[in-house]
Structure 1
């Protein structure tokens, strides 16, 4: 495949780094910052990314995510390609690769790995929720067990807990959905452990498939960066 040299002004140079606390062998993470006000409608054509009909913010985050995914695929597999969009709106990864794309608040990233090493991988970025919004959303995101002790926390701790739980469950969904082909929601999994090192552990509360049943546990990790961003990842080894 002929490499595409154009890099749009709406995206910062792609960054190859690993901000999370625990490295995963064979997994590539590429990120960029994006600014919808700098999007040129011709950027999609110049970058070799299929265009889409949406507001400029959605177009820019889509473009940024696909550029990250293509570079992550190149580094992980040696084959740069732009993931298409499945009918369910999820990225369509090439055979032999697994991956995940995330974007929010001007930052986008993608992780990619070879399927022979990892069965599933989910990545999610969030800006920390304001305390008032966290309190409004908490009953939707946290299970009754996760809610134990919530009211005793101060508002900053509550906001962080809701943001963290939300993000890890989003990453869990992205990692598992391609394996179970079934949508599931916040109350169907719970965060059973997390610590100051960035380790996390989640447990399914519903049967999603013959393999992935209620009680199954998965590992996750997370990091806070630039004060108000939180990045989480859930990975399933081969």
Structure 2
């Protein structure tokens, strides 16, 4: 009997804790913390994950985050349906999941996670983790990330929530793209969606500002959720089957 691939020294044991306010049924979410300085030369081989050429040429940080994300994805697929496949990188840079699976991989400083589900339950899943911006950087980036309407809402809100607002808007739009792009096969950007409202309990309401398909049209609204832990914000957009 083959033993399970070893966990590399750069990754902590996988964590199945659900870090968001609403638990999604029929999904598996796993995360790990990773330290690029602990990455060893044979960690990909020991973990039984083949790095694509672009990753082989990368710096240790990129290699460690790729490895950590794929370890989470493989373990999530194993837990979901007993598969040990590792999503490849597609030509569009997105993970290539089995045809009947939807999923998402994310990583930021020292943390990686993956979520997967069968498409009979969920059509799209998009997850993104970001380091919380400081107030100065948030103010500088707001004009690139927020629509005019979002800028107005931010200006009307509490000053001490500016950094959270900008980080959340950036992250949840990344999650929206990850959830919808596999369905519509059409790229869209920050100006093509807006955050209508959000609560401190982690609920978010989004609206599309462009036509992506005959189903996903300008004005379509979606729900998202987020959580903040240890200086990082995790957001998730989920589209039911």
Q: TM-score scaled by structure 2?
A: 0.95
| 1:4-52 superposed Cα distances (whole Å, 9 cap, x missing partner) | 3311000001111201110111111100000000101211111111122
How many residue pairs match? The answer is 237
Q: Secondary structure at the match of 1:126?
A: strand
| 1:153-173 superposed Cα distances (whole Å, 9 cap, x missing partner) | 455311110001111001000
**2:30 is aligned with 1:44:** no
**In structure 1, how many angstroms separate the alpha carbons of the residues matched to 2:214 and 2:3?**
42
Of residues 230, 234, 238, the one that matches 2:233 is: 230
C-alpha contact (below 8 Å) 1:122/1:235 kept by paired residues: yes
**In structure 2, how many angstroms separate the alpha carbons of the residues matched to 1:152 and 1:131?**
16
Cα 1:143–1:58, aligned 2, differ >3 Å: closer, same or farther? same
Give every structure 1 segment of 4 or more consecutive aligned residues whose post-TM-superposition deviation is greater than 4 Å.
Answer: 152-155
Corresponding residue for residue 13 of structure 1: 13
Give structure 2 stretches of 5+ with no counterpart: none
Q: Secondary structure at the match of 2:173?
A: helix
**In structure 1, how many angstroms separate the alpha carbons of the residues matched to 2:147 and 2:204?**
16
**2:24 is aligned with 1:24:** yes
**In structure 2, how many angstroms separate the alpha carbons of the residues matched to 1:72 and 1:108?**
13
Give structure 1 stretches of 5+ with no counterpart: none
Deviation at 1:151, TM superposition (A): 3.4
Deviation at 1:194, TM superposition (A): 1.2
**2:163 is aligned with 1:159:** yes
C-alpha contact (below 8 Å) 2:5/2:48 kept by paired residues: no
Of residues 76-85 and 63-72 in structure 1, the stretch that sits farther from structure 2 once superposed is 76-85
Q: Secondary structure at the match of 2:64?
A: helix
Of residues 103, 118, 121, the one that matches 2:122 is: 118
Q: Secondary structure at the match of 1:148?
A: helix
